[in-house]
Amino acid sequence: MIIVLKPNINEEEKVKIIDKISSLGFKTNISEGVERTVIGVIGEEDKLRVQPLEVFPGVEKVIPVLAPYKLVSREFKPQDSIVKIKDVEIGAKKIAIMAGPCAIESLESLREIASEISKTGVRILRGGAFKPRTSPYSFQGLGEEGLKIMQQVAKEFDLLTITEVIDSKDVDLVASYVDILQIGARNMQNFNLLKKVGKSKKPVVLKRGMMSTIKEFLMSAEYILSEGNFNVILCERGIRTFETMTRNTLDINAVPVIKQLSHLPIIVDPSHGTGKWGWVIPVSRAAIAAGSDGLLVEMHTHPEDALSDGVQSLNQKNFVKLIEQVKAIANAVNREI
Ligand code: PEP
Ligand code: MN
């Protein structure tokens, strides 16, 4: 439920309304706009409907939020949210590109990759240290050692970093090394992990589960926001369908649909979305054309030697091509890169 306050409300009346809502056991989220203050009330909507909040003198109107995801919905916040991380903004006019290897493999290799991506103007380095692999025999990542490598390389090239956290007990550790926490597709409905990253103040990239609907995806984001962390970026990375030619079926529809339903930024992962490097560039063009706020791309200077996902990783030459082509599409849709 959203309570819109009158423009001339005084502080005392405002406090009275907030106290009343709190006394009923609801949480509030106050957003002070230029003209009006809006109070978002979080909790079971039915219980609140019987309360005549319109009687308070400072209340202009009470609007129920019909969507099951409340804080995430456009009804709750009509303006696009922008996630700011140091000097980088995600969800604003500029397209955010996050690139790097699937997994952090060594200091030398990450340094070489970071050097290439930063030459193209990309500011966010991706790389997994804790890898959720389908097989227990596959490379599981370097763990904390990988995070140390990432932190060092990011400092050398003045990059921001994103890495996946797979266990709620590791959230604080991972958050102490990187700028953005990634919740992978396999953990989209790991509610304890969502609550834990929700308590952290770090920005979170939440990837869509491979068998999840858009509604379930938004409900998972709601878990993070409901714990107080509004710095959430959604990521479409493909879902399972009957199609076997591609690793996943990238649901391009999700981009405009989510833009309509939610104020949160949405980016696309064309690497896991397709599973083959040759399809990454065309699908990236499509993502930006559809309104994506960014891309999460796997890049490796030696994809043939990569310890994971080499087949879907762009080499340096193709990565440069991706940036050029995405730039042309970004300009066509009034965005920048
Ligand atoms: C990844 O980004 O490396 C990853 C494991 O992605 P997903 O969770 O989308 O499979
Ligand atoms: Mn990968």
pLDDT tens, residue by residue, 170-201: 999 999 999 999 999 999 999 999 999 999 98
pTM of the model: 0.92
Same domain, 36 and 156: no
- Is 280 within the bounds of a domain? yes
311: three-class secondary structure by DSSP:
helix
CATH of the domain at 32: 3.30.70.1140
pLDDT of residue 65: 85
Residue 302 confidence (pLDDT) above 90: yes
Band (pLDDT 50/70/90 cuts) for residue 27 is confident
Structural domain includes residue 156: yes
127 touches ligand 1 (CB under 6 Å): no
Residue 228 pLDDT greater than 90, yes or no: no
Residue 45 has pLDDT above 80, yes or no: no
Judge if the beta carbon of residue 128 lies within 6 A of ligand 1: yes
Mean pLDDT over 67-87 rounds to 93
Q: How far is the CA of 184 from the centre of ligand 1 (A)?
A: 5
Q: 57 and 29 in one domain? A: yes
Residue 170 lies in a domain: yes
Residue 35 CA to residue 292 CA, distance in Å, equals 30
Distance 213 CA to ligand 2 centre (A): 21
Using CA positions, which residue lies closest to atom 6 of ligand 1?
A: 184
The rounded Å distance from CA 310 to ligand 2 centre is 8
Contact 237 CB / ligand 1 (< 6 Å): yes
Average pLDDT in the 142-167 region? 98
Judge if 257 and 118 occupy the same domain.
Answer: yes
CA 267–ligand 1 middle distance (angstroms): 13
Condensed to tens digits (0 to 9), the pLDDT of residues 230-273 reads 999 999 999 999 999 999 999 999 999 999 999 999 999 999 99
CA distances from 298 to 42, 273, 274, 301 (A): 38, 11, 11, 10
Lowest mean pLDDT among 48-52, 125-129, 188-192: 48-52
- Structure token pair of residue 301: 């200077």
The pLDDT score that the predictor gives to residue 314 is 98
In a domain, 49, yes or no: yes
Pair (204, 312) in one structural domain: yes
Same domain, 90 and 59: no
Ligand 1 and 208: CB distance under 6 A: no
Measured CA to CA, the distance from residue 203 to residue 54 in angstroms comes to 36
Helix (H) or strand (E) holding 160: strand 160-164
Q: What is the mean pLDDT of residues 220-232?
A: 94
Within a domain: 180: yes
Question: In this structure, are 267 and 303 located in the same domain?
Answer: yes
Total domains present in the chain:
2
In CATH, what number is assigned to the domain containing residue 303? 3.20.20.70
In the chain, what percentage of residues exceed pLDDT 90? 81
Pick the last residue of a domain from 16, 32, 63: 63
Atom of ligand 1 nearest to the CA of 308: 3
Domain annotation covers residue 54 = yes
Q: Which range marks the domain in which residue 143 is found?
A: 83-332
Q: Do 235 and 164 belong to one domain?
A: yes
Same domain, 129 and 177: yes
Specify the residue with its C-alpha closest to ligand 1, atom 9: 185
Strand ranges (DSSP E) for 226-286? 232-236, 266-268
In this predicted structure, what is the pLDDT of residue 111? Answer: 98
Report residue 309's pLDDT band, with 50, 70 and 90 as the boundaries: very high
- How high does pLDDT run on average in the chain? 95
Cα 121 to Cα 188: distance, rounded to the nearest angstrom:
30
Tell how far CA 112 is from the center of its chain. 26
Give yes or no: residues 35 and 141 share one domain: no
Provide the pLDDT confidence category of residue 167 given band limits of 50, 70 and 90. very high
301: helix, strand or coil: coil
Both 54 and 93 in a single domain? no
Instruction: Pick 243 or 37 by higher pLDDT.
Output: 243
Instruction: Decide if 78 is inside a domain.
Output: no
Asked if 179 and 296 sit in the same domain, the reply is yes
Distance (Å) from CA 272 to ligand 1 centroid: 7
Q: Is pLDDT of 34 > 90?
A: no
**Residue 306 resides in a domain:** yes
* Judgement on whether residues 55 and 111 belong to the same structural domain of the protein: no
